Amino acid sequence: MEQLLRFLMRYGGTFLFVILEVFSLLIVVNQNSFQHASFLSSSNQVAASVLNAESSVTSYFGLETTNRQLAIENTALQNRVALLQGRLELLKDSTHGDLQIAPDQAYHYVSAKVIGNSINKLQNYITLNKGRLDGVKPEMGVVNDQGVVGIVTAVSDHFAAVMSLLNSKSQLSCKIKRTNDFGRLVWNGVDSDFAQLLEVPRHADVRVGDTLITSGFSAIFPEGIPVGIVTQSSRPSASSYYDITAKLTAQFRTLTYVKVIQYQNQEELQTVQKEGEQ
């Protein structure tokens, strides 16, 4: 006993050091299993409240830009409503009024404010002021009117942590709008404006200026949401795939308001996909 005490007195610091370091490292190595743990993420109530207080001050600085973006989005939506209304009238006329349109809204959007957002790390996250009580759950997609932003990883009652596209662990299934060729979008950590599209086969026809949209495979994003514009594409001779760089359409530096996508049939689709794999 005395020896043990003497040992701890002499080497206690080192002993504690080793314990703390092993513990931290275990958390780092198993970070995927901690990803959904809300108390360890920025959706933690206390942490998010601090971020929220900060953003309630700083958000005033961006009001003008935000306003302009909202006005543009508003106009686009109004135009769309007008167009669809016109079509509806036309359909009604041609079917003599007994047209039935089934309520089929598979996707529902929840608007949220960005209260925390980093782009200076390899693994960037965004914190939103909407959480479980607003219907936000992990694995939901996040977009703004410019394009895809990220995927929710952890939620608390009032806040959510979102893995940004600017995260070396993020993977997004995309396709080229013009040719329907599929690929996987990842971020190499270098430039916060550009991401890389992998696994597009050599025989595909990819041109600079092509638009990338979501593929709709994942049950997280509906098909057709803009992701990026191809700025560079080459076919390295050693590889059977293209080397594609795309400029992201969402501007991560100035994110203020985003929408969380609730896909009503997400669980059903995931179950079917899982069953299909077995």
Partner 1 sequence: MSGNQLLKHFIRFAFLIILQVVIFDNIRFLGYINPLLYIWFILGLPSTINRSFLLILAFITGTILDIFSNTPGMYAFATVFVAYFRAPLLKLVVPRDDVSSSYEPSVKSLGFPVFLKYAAVLIVLLHLLLFTLEAFSFVHYELVLIKTIINSSLTLLLVLSLQKTKT
Range in contact with partner 1 (rule: CB under 8 A) among 29-37, 72-80, 84-92, 172-180: 29-37
Nearest to 191 by CA among 166, 215, 173, 170: 166
Q: Is 144 exposed, middle or buried (0-12, 13-18, 19+ CB in 10 A)?
A: buried
If one asks whether residue 21 binds partner 1 (CB under 8 A), the answer comes out as yes
If one asks whether residue 44 binds partner 1 (CB under 8 A), the answer comes out as yes
Nearest to 175 by CA among 119, 122, 146, 216: 216
Nearest to 132 by CA among 216, 217, 48: 48
Range in contact with partner 1 (rule: CB under 8 A) among 46-54, 61-69, 142-150, 257-265: 46-54
Tokens of 271: 């179950």
If one asks whether residue 146 binds partner 1 (CB under 8 A), the answer comes out as no
If one asks whether residue 256 binds partner 1 (CB under 8 A), the answer comes out as no
Map residue 214 onto helix, strand or coil. Answer: strand
Nearest distance from C-beta of residue 122 to partner 1, angstroms: 5
Instruction: Map tokens 């925390």 to a residue.
Output: 116
Tokens of 23: 């513990």
If one asks whether residue 122 binds partner 1 (CB under 8 A), the answer comes out as yes
Nearest distance from C-beta of residue 181 to partner 1, angstroms: 26
Binding characters for partner 1, 170-199, by CB under 8 A (x = yes): ------------------xxxxx-------
Calculate the alpha carbon distances from 225 to 85, 106, 148, 256 in Å: 22, 15, 7, 19
Nearer to partner 1, 203 or 253 (CB): 253
Distance CA 278, CA 269 (A): 15
Residue from 6, 54, 70, 207 that binds partner 1 (CB under 8 A)?
54
If one asks whether residue 119 binds partner 1 (CB under 8 A), the answer comes out as yes
Residue ranges that bind partner 1, judged by CB under 8 A: 12-14, 16-17, 20-21, 23-28, 31, 34, 37, 39-42, 44, 47, 50-51, 54, 116-123, 125, 153-154, 161, 168, 188-192, 252-253
